[in-house]
Amino acid sequence: MPNRRKLVDLAGRRFGRLVAMTPVIEYRRETSWACLCDCGGNKVVSAALLLCGRVSSCGCARVKHGLCFVPEYKIWTSMNQRCSLATHKSFPRYGGRGITVCELWRFDFARFYGDVGPRPSSSHSLDRIENDGNYEPGNVRWATPAEQANNRAPAPGRQCRTLDDQPITRRAIAHHLAMTYGAYMYAIGHRA
């Protein structure tokens, strides 16, 4: 009895830069799709690779900048996913709040990398200066964990601590007062 797999209709669906156009039966009867890329290129990709997200362009994304293996590329990809993929675990805190990636960066890693530059160290992460603003030139920086902690939106239902009308963490308050974090927490009656 022949093994018949049900054809999943991907026609017209977008996978990154690729739009599936027509099904193609290839080697070992695996269903692949002829796809059209945003750059105008064509690529035949297996349905499995499209659905799991392993292939999202005709190769143009790698060829243009040659930086697909630098850490910043993974950060750029994650930034795009949390702002546009409703299934991403962080979508409610980003795309769900209306935060978007500007059109200049959304499909152009080289432009993003040119504007933001290389990450200063492995402890730095991408940070939006204006927490409610979008990922766009002038509103992002590479920040240390301490800088990131001081630039967070308060959790729902929690009051935000401020110093000089700026949100601030307890650790930053202790530093501002020239105290250790433990001493500060003891002084306000909390355990560190």
Report the length, in residues, of the chain: 192
- Residue 4's pLDDT is 54
Per-residue pLDDT, averaged over 103-129, amounts to 91
pLDDT score at 1: 44
Residue 36: CB atoms within 10 Å: 16
pLDDT of residue 155: 58
Q: What is the 3-state secondary structure (H, E, C) of the chain?
A: CCCCCCCCCCCCCEECCEEEEEEEECHHHCEEEEEEECCCCEEEEEHHHHHHCCCCCCCHHHHHHCCCCCHHHHHHHHHHHHHHCCCCCCHHHCHHHCCCECHHHHCCHHHHHHHHCCCCCCCCEEEECCCCCCECCCCEEEECHHHHHCCCCCCCCCCCCEECCEECCHHHHHHHCCCCHHHHHHHCCCCC
- Mean of pLDDT values over 55-60: 82
Per-residue pLDDT band at 167 (split at 50, 70, 90): low
Query: 62 falls in which pLDDT band (50, 70, 90)?
Result: low
* Cα–Cα distance for residue pair 189/120, rounded to 1 Å: 37
Residue 55: C-alpha distances to residues 15, 43, 110 (Å): 8, 10, 18
How far is residue 185's CA from residue 192's CA, in Å, rounded to a whole number? 6
Q: What is the mean pLDDT of residues 63-70?
A: 62
The sign one gets for the Cα dihedral 88, 94, 99, 105 is: negative
- Please state whether the predicted TM-score (pTM) of the whole model is above 0.85: no
Could you tell me the residue ranges of all domains in the chain?
Answer: 14-58, 63-153, 154-192
**Per-residue pLDDT at 121:** 94
At residue 141 the predicted structure's pLDDT band, cuts being 50, 70 and 90, is very high
Give yes or no for residue 127 having a pLDDT over 90.
yes
pLDDT score of 5: 58
State residue 169's pLDDT score: 72
Query: Of 53-57, 91-95, 123-127, 187-191, which gets the smallest average pLDDT?
Result: 187-191
